Amino acid sequence: MFTSREALHFSSSFFREFFNGSGREAEIIEFLDVTVEAARTALPKALPPKP
C-alpha cells in the first residue's frame, strides 16, 4: 500500500512537482508509467469480486 503522500505524488502532477521541486519532461513520462502500473496492481484488488 501507499502512504497518503505517495498517493498524492502518483495521482497529481501538481503534488509531484511540489514534492520533487521540479517537473522535467522525463519525470512526467516516468510518472505516467508508474501511474499505469499502480492502477494495474491496485484496481483489481480494490474492486469487489465478480458474481
pLDDT tens for residues 4-36? 666 665 666 666 665 555 545 555 566 677 777
H-type helices in 1-51, by residue range?
A: 4-11, 13-20, 25-46
CA distance 33 to 30: 5
Can you give the pLDDT at residue 47? 62
pLDDT band of 37, cuts 50, 70, 90:
confident
Phi, psi for residue 48 in degrees, rounded to 5: -70, 155
pTM of this structure: 0.33
Can you give the pLDDT at residue 39? 74
Can you give the pLDDT at residue 36? 75
